[in-house]
Chains A and B, each alone.
Chain A
Amino acid sequence: MASFQAVKKSLNLAPTVRARPSGVPLVPSLNLSVRAPADSHGHGHGASGPRVDTPPSWAGGVTNSQFGLFSKTYTTGPAPKISHQRLLHTSVVVKDAPEVPDFGHYRAKDSDNNRALSYFMVGTMGVLSASVAKSSVTEFLKTMSASADVLALAKVEVELSSIPEGKNAIIKWRGKPVFIRHRTQGEIDEARSANWKTFRDPESDEDRTQRPEWLIMLGVCTHLGCVPIGEAGDFGGWFCPCHGSHYDISGRARKGPAPLNLEVPAYEFNDADGKLVIG
């Protein structure tokens, strides 16, 4: 147990500096009377010699005596003064008055002109960018439209004088049959006198024809896409053999499963050449 106590006993490490019993450190090799080197150590600040900001030795100093370090001041030496002004420093130079240059020479004589010019330049930029945006949008949309060769194929011309009155003609347009009926006056009267408001797809004959004697329709049954037979059916018009839809002499669905009238394509008459242009 006793040896254990001895191990736990605290130790003080030897001090690096010896001290007298009074507590004054004893450093025999410390030379406290050292001065600044006598040469100018080569960076040109004037005469060599002791530092100007240290008090001279006759005014006092620190001595290392047998009894310890002694600091003694025999006289009140002059306070270390700054012998020259330092020109390089980081603090802002305080000036008596702010030295702002006169910019009057550069100022505009008339600020209205400058303001109008600024707005004008901004507006011109807006004009240019708006036209660029508009033209890019329209050019992009033009790429979606049909090209000229497709449009040329999309039209069909029919010689009207080749179809006698009371006859049907079937032509092919965009891969679909088109019925052209040269109607007689009796058929026109029949088509126009019908009470079309009660029909499944109410549409007047005036809306379906540009000229009463010419009826132009797509020959595709609106039910399931068969091609109806002309001059057949209960109403003297067209009859679809697939599921028995009846169309009248204006191409309107009158009986059977067809939900809509036969479709009328876009067409126009070319009176100079006596032609019908579909498409």
Chain B
Amino acid sequence: MSLASSFYSTIFKRNSVYIASVFTTAFAFGIGFDSGVTSFWDSWNRGKQWKDLRGKYAQDEE
């Protein structure tokens, strides 16, 4: 049994399973997409955000 037919029989054959897997994948995809974009944003703006600069100023106050 090839990979394609095993995929078909496990996921695509029953519509309920198909839709459920679509929604769970959408949920996971949303989380992954958000975290990916956030990490990209942080790396792109490294050294400019407050959480990068906080150590510098908070220690000066205390």
Contacts and interface: CB of A to CB of B under 8 A. Distances in A.
Decide if A and B are genuine partners. Answer: yes
Interface of A: 110, 112-113, 115-117, 119-120, 123, 126-128, 130-131, 134-135
B40 interface: no
Given A119-B12, A119-B18, A123-B22, A131 B5 contact: no
Contacts of A135: 30
Contacts of A128: 26, 29
Contact of A127 (B2, B7, B12, B26): B26
B8 A134 contact: no
A126 B23 CA distance: 8
Interface residues of B, number: 18
A76 to B, nearest CB: 77
B25 to A, nearest CB: 5
Nearest to A130: B26
Contact of A116 (B8, B19, B21, B27): B8
B5 A130 contact: no
A130 B22 contact: yes
Given A131-B29, A134-B26, A134-B30, 18 more contacts: A115-B4, A116-B4, A116-B7, A116-B8, A119-B11, A119-B18, A120-B7, A123-B11, A123-B21, A126-B19, A126-B22, A127-B26, A127-B29, A130-B26, A131-B26, A131-B30, A131-B33, A135-B30
Which DSSP category, helix, strand, loop or mixed, fits chain A's interface?
helix
Interface of B: 2, 4-5, 7-8, 11-12, 18-19, 21-23, 25-27, 29-30, 33
Contacts of A119: 8, 11-12, 18
Nearest to B24: A127
A113 B8 CA distance: 9
A127 to B, nearest CB: 5
B5 to A, nearest CB: 4
B18 A116 contact: no
A128 to B, nearest CB: 8
Given A131-B29, A134-B30, A115 B22 contact: no
A117 B4 CA distance: 8
B37 to A, nearest CB: 11
Contact of B25 (A110, A113, A127): A127
A110 B8 CA distance: 14
A112 B2 contact: yes
Contacts of A120: 7
A119 B4 CA distance: 10
A135 to B, nearest CB: 7
A126 B7 CA distance: 17
B36 to A, nearest CB: 13
A130 B24 CA distance: 10
Nearest to B19: A126
Contacts of B5: 112, 116
Nearest to A118: B12
A130 B20 CA distance: 12
B28 to A, nearest CB: 9
A155 to B, nearest CB: 20
Given A110-B2, A123-B18, A130-B22, A115 B8 contact: yes
